[in-house]
Amino acid sequence: MNKKLITACKGVKLTLLVFGCVLSSYAQSNFSSKVIGVGVVVADLERSLDFYVNGIGMVKTGSFTINEDFGKRSGLTDGVATNVTILKLENSPDATDWKLMSFGKKAAHPKPKVIQDDTGMQYITIQVKALQPIIDRLTQLKVPFLGSTPTPLNAKAHFVFVQDPDGNFIELIGPLH
């Protein structure tokens, strides 16, 4: 090959590399936050707050109201107002918002027994520093553990699987102590 062709090929590779980096950067730059807020409709807000705050150990970081007008205009509700309570694993702007709201009615579908019983979001994973305090709190709240819990994953980590009061699966992973 001659030098001009080699130089041209190197230039094309560099152009493609730069173009790929620009596209990758552009695709990711559309998000103003790295946090995904999750809205969870529950049957009994107080019961769910007890589970998530006193059992799992989340912290309440705020609340807001969706009024009738906004609910209707935005398509969130058919004009029903609701209060939303925001929970996080820690009070940090980088922590995911777990937004609980209730309309005072039970789920229209049966509570799943295992994750393949339904479609859609089935479980969340929470990485913890120590499982035993959470196991103790959930035991005190009489939350049933699923499977052989805690299940060893490796020499350092264990796996605990529970359901919240509405049947959402929660997997907790970390060392026992």
pLDDT in tens, 16-53: 444 455 445 555 678 888 899 999 999 999 999 999 99
pLDDT tens column, 55-100: 999 999 999 999 999 999 999 999 999 999 999 999 999 999 999 9
**Residue given tokens 């229209």 in the structure block:** 108
What Rg value do the Cα atoms of the chain yield, rounded? Answer: 23
pLDDT tens column, 98-154: 999 999 888 888 889 999 998 888 999 999 999 999 999 999 999 999 999 899 999
pLDDT tens column, 147-171: 998 999 999 999 999 999 999 999 9
Q: Is 26 exposed, middle or buried (0-12, 13-18, 19+ CB in 10 A)?
A: exposed
H helices, E strands: number in the chain:
4, 8
Residue 80 DSSP symbol: -
Residue 169 pairs with which residues in a beta bridge?
123, 163
What integer pLDDT is reported at residue 106 of this predicted model? 84
CB-CB neighbours of 107 under 10 Å? 11
Are 83 and 67 spatial neighbours (Cβ–Cβ below 8 Å)? no
For the chain, what percent of residues have pLDDT higher than 70?
A: 84
pLDDT at 10 over 80: no
For the chain, what percent of residues have pLDDT higher than 90?
A: 73
Gap between the Cα atoms of 104 and 3, Å rounded: 75
**Residue given tokens 């060893």 in the structure block:** 152
Select from 122, 104, 98, 108 the least CA-distant residue to 170.
122
What integer pLDDT is reported at residue 40 of this predicted model? 96
DSSP 22-72: HHHHHHHTT-S-SPPPEEEEES-HHHHHIIIIIII--EEEEEEEE-HHHHH
Tokens of 44: 């009994």
Are 45 and 100 spatial neighbours (Cβ–Cβ below 8 Å)? yes
